[in-house]
A = this chain, B = another copy of it.
Amino acid sequence: MAKTDVLSLAILGMLAEQPLHGYQIRKRLGTELGPFRALSYGSLYPCLKRMVGAGLIAADESDAGRVSGSKRSRIAYGLTEDGERRLAEELANSGASAWDDDTFDVRFSLFTKTDSATRLRILEGRRSRLSERLEEVNEGLARVRERHDAYTTELHRHGLERVEREVEWLDKLIENERSATRGDNPSTASAGNN
């Protein structure tokens, strides 16, 4: 029941498709999983080591990808059974940790591996989290407005707007998810808690 950090989760999800090299993992994480996650080697390799140590992934140095007697060192990482199990656990988790700022994107990018009820719970959780934030920021904006200059105020106003947009986006997704669920399987619809 050890905790899985965001990075490990993202890697777990990527390796579920196919084994990959560290280099490829880094590259894909930069492009596939949201355009904005960078990930440097200084984070990646230690993380891979940790995961190997935890038995979640296994290193394969045989390297069937190249022809010649390649002296080049290449290590392909693949999920172990424990890794698959851990991934399944994480995918089933729809608790608060699934809609944290830093986790949500990763969870979202793995939504095809998740069932509809879990998707809906995560989306709704994320939405309510942002709603809370909306109130805080609104109060903050009022105070900034009376105490600070126009630029600072504008910065806050814009920040507020960004959160509002985010909420609208989630509303759209939730609506889609609901109607899809209604279409597929009416009995599991409207499972909203929280």
**9 smallest beta-carbon distances between A and B, as pairs:** A111-B151, A112-B149, A35-B137, A35-B159, A109-B152, A31-B140, A35-B140, A34-B155, A109-B155
**Does A71 reach chain B (CB closer than 8 Å)?**
no
Indicate how many identical chains form the complex.
Answer: 2
Which residues on the B side are within 8 Å of A36 (C-beta)? 159
A34 x B159 contact (CB < 8 A): yes
Quick one: CB contact mask for A144-163 with B, threshold 8 Å, 1 for yes?
Answer: 10001111101110111010
- Interfacial residues, chain A to chain B (CB-CB below 8 A): 31-36, 105, 108-112, 133, 136-137, 140-141, 143-144, 148-152, 154-156, 158-160, 162, 165, 169, 173
Which residues on the B side are within 8 Å of A155 (C-beta)? 33-34, 105, 108-109
